[in-house]
Amino acid sequence: MTVPSSTPADSGKQIALRAPSALDLRELLRRNQTARAALALLLLLLYNAFFTTNFLSVGTFNANLTQVATIVIVAVGMTFVIATGGIDLSVGALMAIAGVIAPMFLREANQFGAPWIGLVLAFVAPVLITGLCGLFNGTLVTWVGLQPIIATLVLFLAGRGIAQVLVNGQLIEFRNLGSPLVAQFEFIGLGSIFGIRFQIILMAVVVAVAAWVLASTVFGRYVLATGGNESAARLAGVPVRRIKLAVYTISGLLSGLAGLIVVAINRSADPHAVGELMELDAIAAVAVGGTPLIGGQATMVGTLLGALIIQLLRFTLISHNVSDGLARIVIAIVIVVAVMLQRQRSS
Amino acid sequence: MSSLSLGYGEDQEAVRASARAIALIQRQGALIALIVLALGGWLRYGANFVSPYNIFDAFLNSNSYYALIALGMAFVIMSGGIDLSVGSVTAMSAVTAAQLSGYGLVPAAAGAIGIGLATGIVNGVLIGQFKLQSFVITLATLLAGRGMALVLSNNAPVMVDFSAGFPSLGTTRVGPVPLPVVIVAVLYLLGAILLRFTRFGRHVLAIGGNEEAARLAGVPIERTLLIVYAMSGALAGLAGALLAALSYSGSPTSAVGWELSAIAAVVVGGTLLTGGVGSVGGTLVGVLLLGLIFNALNFEQAQGVFQLNVFWENLIRGVFLLIVVVFQSRLARRLGAGAT
């Protein structure tokens, strides 16, 4: 809100209006975290293009983007929540809930009259349920007045428990469901359109819609106003409570969608593993992308770039035989550097 | 007061008395619940529930690591911050302790505490000196700590070397009491003294209450925060040493999510997440209460009245946290002290 240059739309305008000179670019990089994230991603891509064998191939493209798609989808919801000054720790647990509920509808495919109803329910019901869980988070934050970190800690713990209890802790393998709908359901994680994996397209749509909502709708302005100065926003007539309820609900819905993709890719639902540590990946993507965790400013394109940087960094390190442990340390350092750069700008 | 006093005075007195009662429940609610649960357990499960084995080993000893982490977390939260790195630090320290266990108890424990302390100092410098948000910084050290645990252990659990006597850290007893329980008791006592009776303790609460006001009043913010995060790291390191000593191995994948359990225990104990208010004793009560629920649940299983498998654990923990925090925030609001 306070620094207009940080929204993606404005930075786009800056580039479009002026002729790109070295000075302008330097100014942009100095002031804009999203521009820095884009540059970092570009450098990573160039490095890999030269030094990683077989990097420029459809296989590598699909492999990297399929891995990052669920993180991006969850991180988009997280960006909305963080923009209001909140945080959502429950996203991974909600993914697990959606992941174990979907197979229940697949298994009972014949109970709904027509098979396609079962298929639709397998997609819609889990997402609606996690949306309700998000609404529950929002209710705790707005009506009960709990701090977001504690409010969502409740479902972080209980949500994983619900997923485990629902299936008695068992891994559900789709091939054992005996359902004719499994192949159609798995399209969300394994299908392709024109050679591009379906969840990549889904991810792109989610980011595009969210970026539009944040930058060009009243709702988006209200979200940023709520995070910028809540009491001022309330006095200015922003329905702060409704906005907060909405962002936690959006986060829940998107977590459910990501959960469906994960179980479709795995062709099984593991209540312990689905979405584990997703809250950390999503928050890291948001922070690296340039959205400050105090709220009031946000960039969806930045979140996408942040997730891509972390993914590509991990890919680069691992494909050059750096161990998983060392890769995590490097990523941690990148996160710290990103927030330090961001602080430098604001001070 | 006097039976002749007017209605207005009586009303006021009644209001004041009920406010005092609410304040007492808010501060001591967890303690009351703990006592009720313990007495209920004694009545229902009999002598086995209060046997030295159940009290000292099954209950207190197995909660000793959570207690240590929660103590450090309580100070961090009172200073207005959060420390998400403690679970990873515990794992990293457990690995370190297991690897150094061949050199004996002191080097292994010192190594574990040292690596925890070092992580805490990194957190403290970045948060205190560089003024970065505790949530993001400790999230980064959470990732880095887990990475370091994997690097140090070469991705596999490290077995403890028994030859130099390292496991005695977990098996030594002082009378009937296991050494880890004694360590926890001593450290909580020191923590309570530190918070209540030292300048450092007042500085922590002042920073958590209003950092800007504290700075203007001359509180050394950077140094105090450095000590707070260093303490949290060192205590998580000690928890790692205990974990290795009691489980005979240091696993890089252990202690996942313990930071959130510790936060839950601190909050259940009545410490407000907004900082500036809190108690060390309450934190211990929070840890014991969350632990006792599972101890009682185990006994309930043995009675065979109803069967709850291990997967109910997370669900019950979450629901319990919900009940406590909702209750607390209602009480806090009635007191006019603002929301939690």
CB A279 within 8 A of CB A88: yes
pLDDT of residue B339: 36
Contact (CB<8Å) B314/A145: no
Better-scored residue on pLDDT, A96 or B60: A96
pLDDT of residue A59: 83
pLDDT of residue B10: 61
How sure is the predictor about B62, in pLDDT bands with cuts at 50, 70 and 90? confident
Per CB-CB distance under 8 Å, the chain A contacts of B312 are 161, 165
Residue B151, amino acid: V
- Any A CB within 8 A of B282 CB: no
Q: How much is the pTM?
A: 0.85
pLDDT at B7 over 60: no
Average pLDDT, stretch B89-117?
A: 96
Residue recorded with tokens 């039976």:
B3
DSSP letter assigned to residue A274? T
Per-residue burial over B79-92, b = 16 or more CB atoms within 10 Å of its CB, e = otherwise: bbbbbbbbbbbbbb
Per CB-CB distance under 8 Å, the chain B contacts of A144 are 326, 329
pLDDT at B59 over 80: yes
Q: Which of A155, A333, A340 sits opposite B318 (nearest CB)?
A: A155
pLDDT of residue B4: 46
Specify whether domain B29-334 bears CATH 1.10.260. no
| Residue ranges of domains in chain A | 58-275
Pair type for strands B177-178 and B173-174:
antiparallel
Q: Where are the beta strands (DSSP E) in chain A?
A: 172-173, 192-193, 196-197, 268-269
Ranges in chain A, pLDDT < 50: 1-17, 347
Residue B227, amino acid: I
Pair type for strands A172-173 and A268-269:
antiparallel
Q: What is the CA radius of gyration of chain B?
A: 21
Distance CA B209, CA B80 (A): 7
In angstroms, what CA-CA distances link A5 with A31, A291, B188? 8, 13, 50
Q: Which of residues 115-144 of A touch B (CB under 8 A)?
A: 140, 144
pLDDT of residue A5: 43
Residue A261, amino acid: I
Residue B169, amino acid: L
Q: What is the pLDDT of residues B146-167, one digit of tens each?
A: 999 999 999 899 999 988 889 8
Cβ-based neighbour number of residue A313 at 10 Å: 18
Per CB-CB distance under 8 Å, the chain B contacts of A159 are 318
Ramachandran region, residue A85 (left: φ > 0; alpha: ψ -120 to 50; beta: rest): left
Chain A residue whose CA is closest to B274: A147
| Residue ranges of domains in chain B | 29-334
pLDDT of residue B5: 45
Distance CA A9, CA A20 (A): 17
Q: Which of A146, A157, A169 sits opposite B317 (nearest CB)?
A: A157
Cβ-based neighbour number of residue B281 at 10 Å: 18
How sure is the predictor about B27, in pLDDT bands with cuts at 50, 70 and 90? low
Predicted complex ipTM:
0.83
Per CB-CB distance under 8 Å, the chain B contacts of A150 are 263, 267, 273, 321, 325, 340
Per-residue burial over B133-167, b = 16 or more CB atoms within 10 Å of its CB, e = otherwise: bbbbbbbbbbbbbbbbbbbbbeeebbebbeebebb
- Any B CB within 8 A of A196 CB: no
Average pLDDT, stretch B29-53?
A: 85
Per CB-CB distance under 8 Å, the chain A contacts of B317 are 157-158, 161
Q: Which of A145, A169, A280 sits opposite B309 (nearest CB)?
A: A169
Q: What is the CA radius of gyration of chain A?
A: 21
- Any A CB within 8 A of B125 CB: no
Strand partners, A173: A268
pLDDT of residue A101: 94
- Any B CB within 8 A of A149 CB: yes
Distance CA A296, CA A81 (A): 10
Average pLDDT, stretch B207-216?
A: 92
Distance CA A166, CA B275 (A): 37
Average pLDDT, stretch B87-91?
A: 96
Average pLDDT, stretch B325-331?
A: 78
Q: Which of residues 58-87 of B touch A (CB under 8 A)?
A: 82
Chain B residue whose CA is closest to A168: B311
Tokens found for residue A213: 């909502």
- Any A CB within 8 A of B309 CB: yes
Of the listed ranges A122-126, A128-132, B57-61, B117-121, the least confidently predicted one is: B57-61
**Which residues, including other chains, have CB under 8 Å from residue B246's CB and lie 6 or more apart?**
B61, B62, B170, B180
Question: How far apart are the CA of A145 and the nearest CA of chain B, in angstroms?
Answer: 6
Average pLDDT, stretch B216-241?
A: 96
Contact (CB<8Å) A153/B263: yes
Residue recorded with tokens 């469901």:
A177
Distance CA A66, CA A196 (A): 10
Count CA within 13 A, CB hemisphere, residue B334.
Answer: 16
Chain B residue whose CA is closest to A162: B315
To the nearest 5 percent, what fractions of chain A are helix, strand and coil? 75, 0, 20
In angstroms, what CA-CA distances link B92 with B11, B98, B168, B180, B229? 58, 10, 20, 19, 17
Contact (CB<8Å) A168/B329: no
Helix (H) or strand (E) holding B159: strand B158-159
Residue recorded with tokens 């302008």:
A24
Per CB-CB distance under 8 Å, the chain B contacts of A324 are 147, 150, 155
CB A332 within 8 A of CB B84: no
Per CB-CB distance under 8 Å, the chain A contacts of B143 are 280, 284, 328-329, 331-332, 335
Q: At what angle do helices A240-266 and A58-83 cross, to 10 degrees?
A: 160
Contact (CB<8Å) B321/A161: no
Best of A323, A328, A331 to disrupt the B interface by mutation (most B CBs within 10 Å)?
A328
Give A1: exposed, middle or buried? Use CB within 10 Å, 0-12, 13-18, 19+: middle
pLDDT of residue B8: 54
Of the listed ranges A297-311, B6-20, B165-179, B201-215, the least confidently predicted one is: B6-20
Distance CA B301, CA B293 (A): 12
Best of B143, B319, B328, B340 to disrupt the A interface by mutation (most A CBs within 10 Å)?
B143
Distance CA B89, CA B95 (A): 10
Contact (CB<8Å) B133/A293: yes
Contact (CB<8Å) A154/B321: yes
Distance CA B122, CA A332 (A): 12
Q: Which of B140, B148, B313 sits opposite A336 (nearest CB)?
A: B140
pLDDT of residue A3: 42
Residue A334, amino acid: V
Per CB-CB distance under 8 Å, the chain B contacts of A323 are 150-151, 155
